[in-house]
Homo-oligomer: A and B are copies of this chain.
Amino acid sequence: MKMINKEDLIGQLKEKGLKITPQRLAIINALVENRDAHPGANLIYTEARKKAKRVSLSTVYATLKDFSENGLIKQLEFDRMENRYDGNLSEHINLICKRCGTIIDYNLPPTIEPKDIARKAGFVVTDARMEYSGYCRDCLKRTK
């Protein structure tokens, strides 16, 4: 399971010629510390502020976008709900609770081969998104 960590992220910034700024370090910290929560931009903003006072929401958005586009993290898009960010880069399904918004990782052995898709549909896969939504254990309990 390939999970983001501080050193890797900083290393990747250097590799790609991106500058190491206090804001980016604070955002990286927030991302790594909350990687299991699949945080949204606002959580990252709040957490990053605790460490480095000088971070704006614009910067958080720009940075998360940059990171996603460079493959450092993965963006989970929604329309009404805030986008969420995922530091688990292995093939997995995100289990998204419809009631409370919790996102749980569900690891699985890779079964579908991008190669087959390229051959059969002439489509080159660069990003995957697999999500099941429904109700998490806690929310199921609460109903009873």
Contacts and interface: CB of A to CB of B under 8 A. Distances in A.
Interface of A: 77-79, 83, 93, 95, 97-98, 104, 106, 108, 111-112, 114, 117, 120-137, 140
Contact of A122 (B78, B98, B140): B140
Q: Copy number of this protein in the oligomer?
A: 2
25 contacts: A95-B117, A95-B121, A95-B123, A97-B123, A98-B126, A104-B123, A106-B120, A111-B112, A114-B132, A121-B137, A122-B136, A123-B134, A123-B137, A124-B134, A124-B135, A125-B133, A125-B134, A126-B135, A127-B132, A127-B133, A129-B130, A129-B132, A129-B133, A130-B130, A130-B131
Contacts of A112: 93, 108, 111
